[in-house]
Structure 1
Amino acid sequence: MPRALLSVFDKTGIVGLARGLHDLGWTLLSSGGTARAIAEAGLPVTDVADLTGVGPILDHRVVTLHPRVHGGILADRDKAHHAEEMAEHGIEPIDLVVVNLYPFSSDPGIELIDIGGPALVRAAAKNFAHVGVVVDTADYDGVLEMLREGSFGESARRLLAQKAFRITSAYDAAVASWMSDENPRRIDATLPPILTIVAERAEVLRYGENPHQQAALYRLPGAESWWDSATQLNGKEMSYLNVLDTEAAWQLVSRFDRPAAVIVKHANACGVALAPTVAEAYRLAHAADPVSAFGGIIAVNGEVDADTASEISGVFTEVVVAPSFSAAALDILCAKPNLRLIEAVAPFHSMGVNVRSVDGGLLVQTNDEADEPLDDFSVVTERVPTAEEWTSLLLAWQTVAATWSNAIVLANGDVVVGIGGVLRRVTGEGQHVLHPGLGVR
């Protein structure tokens, strides 16, 4: 009679799985809350303590770490001397391990560093030739179906083992990241000698930079992100460039305390303005370069009202992201079914570093936050800027930090009137589009 060990934190679907295994003639082994849930459902279950002869010790830090458990999982059924050792020590084989781990990323702490769970998962995954491992509640029905059909073979077990190792790898990375954050000295925390990046696929995007390229958005488990607060209220699904440009727009507009509007095209701002109202800020940002703004992404740091929506609706736009939209604004903007409207409550959270891929590796640099205090600036000309000129300079400084090199930014008052990101820095200013209506001479 095959045996299954079930020990889960998330008990979603576990009783149904246990019942399905029982109906197929499996013996159920379990511990703690999982064993109670199975027993309360009227199913026969053997507690791991009865199997090992030792109950949980050290505040449940040690429950399943025992040769009668791990020996039953790790034994190579094709080796006669393994069978002899199992018989000598009274160890019976375990054929299926069902485990999910403590949710460390959502509530990190020493007592939520799971030891027994990952050990069970890794043992079963290592021995996938003989043992199945299930770490995802979404796989319960599929595994039961394969067991009923007699198709739960090595290829299926290998796929489940791959997922299991990815899960334990992500778990260890989350613990290592937490320990780095908890260390007050932060030794090599920004650019560590070993960089572990584990990401979960959050969304498959429409396409990549071009329609023939595939793309997906991946999230770092446990990482703070403004995207967590974002809700898409209207429009088509996001593409790769939509996400990239929306991120750039929200990052820049989040730097301003006053009502601000940012328009981004191809990851660079083409319009930035501050004003007493969001509507006026958008009008000024758009007027700075209306040609580049066509088909761009708009970000504002205040509510989009009817006035702002009316201004936006007259121009082809891919995405509008804002903290909120008034009911009247939604009536206006939702009349455009393809216009993506994103409501985001949280400001941009910097990860501190920027990562890009190179052949065979990753290129990492710290972010340019453009958060230097005014006292850190040095005037190198004979004439000291006026207060109004300092306002323009600081706006240009924040904008140029978000512009790809070689970057030149011109600002007049609270409006960016020219942005260049070109190959030749000597003649870069010639690429600026300056509009006399904005007061530039």
Structure 2
Amino acid sequence: MPRRMSQTLPVRRALLSVSDKTGIVEFARFLVAQGAEILSTGGTASAIRAAGIPVKDVSEHTGFPEILDGRVKTLVPQVHGGLLGRRDLADHLAQMEAHAIAPIDLVAVNLYPFEATVAKGAEFEDCIENIDIGGPAMIRSAAKNFASVVVITEPEQLSEVRVELEDGGTTLALRRRLAQAAYARTAAYDTAISTWFAGENKDVFPQRLAVAGILRQGLRYGENPHQQAAFYTDGSNRPGIATARQVQGKELSYNNLNDTDAAFECVAEFDEPSIVIVKHANPCGVATAASLAEAWDRALLCDPVSAFGGIVAANRVLDAAAAEKIAAIFTEVVVAPDADDAAKAVFARKKSLRLLLTGGLPDPAAPGRLVKSVAGGFLAQSRDNGRVTEGALRVVTQRAPSAQEMRDLLFAFRVCKHVKSNAIVYAKDLATVGIGAGQMNRVESSRIAAWKSEAAAKAAGLDQPLALGSVVASDAFFPFADGLETAAAAGATAVIQPGGSMRDAEVIAAADKAGLAMVFTGMRHFRH
């Protein structure tokens, strides 16, 4: 038999039990004024009672006391029967009357702060005690019976429910929408618990991997106008676009966010003042210098054509000197941990430029997980937090790198980690001077990077390619000597690469023949 669903409904009895008490006292006062009876528990009941609002303890309503240190207080038929009983079925109503179960028309529950408890590094037992059991059960019961019950799981939902009640009662459309939000909330809560447990059990990839997100903002479209898109955060508070405050500028797009994330993750790799310029998720200029302004000049020199309309990331508080230089060309987004007032004033002259301040830098060495969707599922992997140090390098050529070459090699390999494969990076004096990205073979990436260094030199009015006297980094091994020979022809003097090819001996021999120093890292940085 089709279920008959009630449409607009008043609230005669409400159960309020929240950890986040924002707005709950005012809401309780409103419900009482509407003629509703308030049931509540623990701290919520105390807060409502302290405001002079009549409230009935759940234990009094059910006739069953809280037991087991409060672990059991709402897991009783008088609560769940009052939520799940169908008002359109005479048999349900008769059973409720026979067992003295009063209907509950509204539930406002937000859960024990498990996520916050874990985030502050609490002990194992404290985390366990902050796993809510009764709350999710009530939420799920109320949501299942959305035809007759309204369920509130977030403080911001209180006002929209109040608006409808002021107009005579909650609508079916609102109750359905809140039911969906309720199940999403309990799913995200269980995901947080599952993820934490997996970490405690050292289980990186459990049998069932749950992923949850919180809507940060809707986007006009995705990579292209015919695609829908939205931005979700994972609740981890990793500094970056998820923690960014947009100070000014146009609405952020899907591509803006993707490119800004790429730029900020790259610039966080460096300790000294650094600038990264990104276009289509690939760095087109990276430099480290004594100041951000100097780093900008040297990063821009690498590829001024691609920098137009790009994304700029800084790893320091932006000052006016750097802001003036950045604002001199068309830039889509500037992202940094912070900016001083003088820098903000400079950027304010560019109304369309989006300025994002994140409040901090991500730790490139921290563990994490990346998820990518594929047809019928998704791939999961740990974050590429690998870092090569000088002590881990193996010199494989007759000549060892000089001290300056070694600094540049480590710099170039760190940049290479953020360039799409196949990746080749030329660098000199802690600045990129040629980048080849995303080619189907490594020799083409070498040629493109060399060509870009020549084009950039001409644009700057220089009489020799920027790559002359540089070092070169490759994200993976050279399968043949031709990629290395292209780098030598471009003027590179030293090479850093993972090694591990069947033809390593041929590549090493080619390096020796060209007088290059070469080191193996034993670590590759594919990025697809």
- Taking structure 1 as the reference length, the TM-score comes to 0.90
Aligned counterparts of 2:138 and 2:269: Cα–Cα separation in 1? 47
Amino acid at match of 2:268: S
What corresponds to 1:139 in structure 2?
Answer: 157
Aligned counterparts of 2:46 and 2:356: Cα–Cα separation in 1? 44
Structure 1 67/356 Cα, relative in aligned 2: closer, same or farther at 3 Å? same
What corresponds to 1:332 in structure 2?
Answer: 346
1:290-323 CA distances to partner (integer Å, 9 max, x unpaired)? Answer: 1111111112223333332332232221222233
Structure 1 257/92 Cα, relative in aligned 2: closer, same or farther at 3 Å? same
What corresponds to 1:38 in structure 2?
Answer: 48
What corresponds to 1:236 in structure 2?
Answer: 250
Aligned counterparts of 2:68 and 2:133: Cα–Cα separation in 1? 13
SS in 1 for 2:81: helix
Amino acid at match of 1:342: L
What corresponds to 1:16 in structure 2?
Answer: 26
What corresponds to 2:485 in structure 1?
Answer: none
Q: Does 1:203 align with 2:221?
A: no
Q: How big is the shift at 1:168?
A: 0.8
What corresponds to 1:429 in structure 2?
Answer: 446
Structure 1 229/131 Cα, relative in aligned 2: closer, same or farther at 3 Å? closer
User: Do the aligned partners of 2:111 and 2:132 also contact (CA within 8 Å) in 1?
Assistant: yes
- The 5 Å alignment of 1:169-318 reads 169-181=187-199, 183=200, 185-187=201-203, 189=204, 191-227=205-241, 230-318=244-332
User: Do the aligned partners of 1:261 and 1:274 also contact (CA within 8 Å) in 2?
Assistant: yes
Give the counterpart of 2:397 among 362, 381, 398: 381
Aligned counterparts of 2:174 and 2:344: Cα–Cα separation in 1? 48
Aligned counterparts of 2:407 and 2:397: Cα–Cα separation in 1? 17
What corresponds to 2:178 in structure 1?
Answer: 160
User: Do the aligned partners of 1:309 and 1:329 also contact (CA within 8 Å) in 2?
Assistant: yes
Q: Does 1:418 align with 2:428?
A: no
Query: What is the count of residue pairs matched by the alignment?
Result: 437
What corresponds to 1:122 in structure 2?
Answer: 140
Give the counterpart of 1:405 among 407, 421, 427: 421
User: Do the aligned partners of 2:198 and 2:206 also contact (CA within 8 Å) in 1?
Assistant: no
Aligned counterparts of 1:218 and 1:231: Cα–Cα separation in 2? 15
SS in 1 for 2:115: coil
Aligned counterparts of 2:92 and 2:467: Cα–Cα separation in 1? 85
CA RMSD after TM alignment = 2.5
Aligned counterparts of 1:407 and 1:11: Cα–Cα separation in 2? 52
Percent of pairs identical after alignment?
47
1:252-279 CA distances to partner (integer Å, 9 max, x unpaired)? Answer: 1111112222111110000111222222
Aligned counterparts of 2:178 and 2:231: Cα–Cα separation in 1? 23
User: Do the aligned partners of 2:107 and 2:142 also contact (CA within 8 Å) in 1?
Assistant: yes
Aligned counterparts of 2:359 and 2:160: Cα–Cα separation in 1? 38
Aligned counterparts of 1:324 and 1:12: Cα–Cα separation in 2? 30
Aligned counterparts of 2:175 and 2:245: Cα–Cα separation in 1? 37
User: Do the aligned partners of 1:288 and 1:418 also contact (CA within 8 Å) in 2?
Assistant: yes
What corresponds to 2:114 in structure 1?
Answer: 104
Structure 1 221/304 Cα, relative in aligned 2: closer, same or farther at 3 Å? closer
Aligned counterparts of 1:300 and 1:25: Cα–Cα separation in 2? 57
Q: Does 1:90 align with 2:113?
A: no
User: Do the aligned partners of 2:39 and 2:56 also contact (CA within 8 Å) in 1?
Assistant: yes
1:176-233 CA distances to partner (integer Å, 9 max, x unpaired)? Answer: 222233x1x512x2x3322211101112235432345443221112443334653333
User: Do the aligned partners of 1:204 and 1:215 also contact (CA within 8 Å) in 2?
Assistant: yes
Give the counterpart of 2:375 among 359, 379, 383: 359
Amino acid at match of 1:430: R
What corresponds to 1:393 in structure 2?
Answer: 409
What corresponds to 2:512 in structure 1?
Answer: none
Amino acid at match of 1:167: R
Q: How big is the shift at 1:114?
A: 1.3
- Taking structure 2 as the reference length, the TM-score comes to 0.76
SS in 2 for 1:110: helix
Q: How big is the shift at 1:14?
A: 2.3
Unaligned 5+ segments in structure 2 are 1-10, 119-126, 458-463, 469-490, 492-528
